[in-house]
Structure 1
């Protein structure tokens, strides 16, 4: 289990499973000869994308960023289309930390697409139950509204089985929210209308999880955005804004999807100057 210490804060990456999605879709209009130099594709033109939640402890609370892809929720067709050859094993990851699902106090969801939210619920004989029954689940109000009432495009990624069992645990925010007086979630839009990022500071060191505005290290160029983005111009604007601010602050960038880096820092010229590899 990889870990990163920022100030007095230690972040751990749990095993949330893996997907393999179309490289062309992940890099939008960027030609393959350019993006494939930075992030390799398999014979099906798919790129590996981890879905590993980030765990940390703060003020006596056990906190997750994102929830993984869960276990037992995909049909064979979905497993094939999404390139799922490894599902989540959150229980085992938490066990190595001396914890269980019941010990999670807070789950921060940047957005609720299936590859981030499938881990929020567990299949049962009668339907689905909460995977983290004692947790407050934070997400933006816009995201929560669309999750429950998706449009013809978004209904393929906002699944009822991922929200119905946890709706009593959800706490929403409009523009931003400070959590535990230590880190904040900020609504950005872009990838989805309700997309948010998460940023914090510990002992003078900053960190940021830009979620699907910056899904991998290869998406550093602000113009390299996904075809999956609902509002690509918003993605570009927000991505540039936060990249400029966080790189200037020498912040750590934490990844959920990257198959090669768990976290890294870039200098002002875009060169990697510190890293935690997978």
Structure 2
């Protein structure tokens, strides 16, 4: 389990499973000869995308960012289509920290696509129940509304199996919300209409999780947006704003999907000055 220690904050990446998605879709209109120099691709033109939640303790609360791909939630066809070679082992990861899913107090959901939200529920026999029964789950109101009433495009990624069992646990916000002192969720739109990013500030150190408007370090160029984005120009605008602010402010960039890096700090010249890599 990789960790990032900055001051008195320790962030752990739990084993949330993995997907392998089409590289062309993940880099949109960017030609493969360009993006393939920055991110590994396999013979099926797929790139590895982890789905590993970030765990940390904050103000006496146990906090998760995202929830993983889940376990026992996908059928064989879905596993094949999404390149899921490994499902979540969140309980085992938490156990190494002396915790269980019952100990999670807060879950920050940047959006509710299946690869982020499948881990919110689990099967007990034939019944789906909350995987984190004592947690308050935060997401934007726009995202929560579309999750429950998807359109013809989004219904492929917003599944009732991921929300029906957790309705009583969800708290929503409009444009932004300070969930705990120093933790802010900001609605950006772009990847989905309700997509948000997460900002952390602890003893002068700053962190940003841009979720799927910047899913990997290779998406740092504001113009490199996903074909999956519902509103690509909104993604570009949000990336221009927040990447600039984060680099100027010497933030750590934190990733959920990146198969190479867990976190990166860039300087103003675009050089990596600090990083946490993924053990393979």
Q: Is the TM value for this pair above 0.5?
A: yes
Native 8 Å contact 1:51 1:256 kept in 2: yes
Query: Quick one: distance in 2 between partners of 1:127 and 1:151?
Result: 26
What residue number does 1:5 align with? 5
Secondary structure, in 3 states, of the residue corresponding to 2:44? coil
Q: How many residues align structurally?
A: 278
What residue number does 2:58 align with? 58
- Residue by residue, what CA displacement relative to the aligned partner does 1:167-188 show, whole Å, maximum 9, x if unpaired? 0000000010102212100000
What residue number does 1:179 align with? 179
- Structure 2: unaligned runs, 5 residues or longer: none
> 1:125 Cα shift?
2.2
Secondary structure, in 3 states, of the residue corresponding to 1:38? coil
What residue number does 2:38 align with? 38
> 1:124 Cα shift?
2.4
Secondary structure, in 3 states, of the residue corresponding to 1:212? helix
What residue number does 2:218 align with? 218
1:208 aligns with 2:208: yes
Query: Quick one: distance in 1 between partners of 2:40 and 2:32?
Result: 10
1:273 aligns with 2:273: yes
Query: Quick one: distance in 1 between partners of 2:96 and 2:102?
Result: 15
Query: Quick one: distance in 1 between partners of 2:167 and 2:270?
Result: 41
Provide the aligned C-alpha RMSD in A: 0.6
What residue number does 1:199 align with? 199
What residue number does 2:263 align with? 263
> 1:269 Cα shift?
1.8
TM-score, with structure 2 as normaliser: 0.98
Query: Quick one: distance in 2 between partners of 1:160 and 1:179?
Result: 25
Native 8 Å contact 1:7 1:204 kept in 2: no
What residue number does 1:85 align with? 85
Query: Quick one: distance in 2 between partners of 1:185 and 1:68?
Result: 19
Of the structure 1 ranges 1-10 and 187-196, higher mean CA displacement relative to structure 2 is found in 1-10
Query: Quick one: distance in 2 between partners of 1:216 and 1:92?
Result: 25
Secondary structure, in 3 states, of the residue corresponding to 2:144? helix
Secondary structure, in 3 states, of the residue corresponding to 2:164? coil
What residue number does 2:98 align with? 98
Query: Quick one: distance in 2 between partners of 1:65 and 1:264?
Result: 17
> 1:148 Cα shift?
0.0
Query: Quick one: distance in 1 between partners of 2:213 and 2:226?
Result: 9
Secondary structure, in 3 states, of the residue corresponding to 1:146? helix
Query: Quick one: distance in 1 between partners of 2:218 and 2:180?
Result: 32
Query: Quick one: distance in 1 between partners of 2:152 and 2:125?
Result: 29
Query: Quick one: distance in 2 between partners of 1:240 and 1:268?
Result: 14
What residue number does 2:132 align with? 132
Native 8 Å contact 1:11 1:54 kept in 2: yes
Runs of 4+ in 1 over 4 A off after TM superposition: none
- Residue by residue, what CA displacement relative to the aligned partner does 1:91-129 show, whole Å, maximum 9, x if unpaired? 000000000000000000000000000000001223200
What residue number does 2:108 align with? 108
TM-score, with structure 1 as normaliser: 0.99
Native 8 Å contact 1:9 1:202 kept in 2: yes
What residue number does 1:15 align with? 15
What residue number does 1:28 align with? 28
> 1:6 Cα shift?
2.2
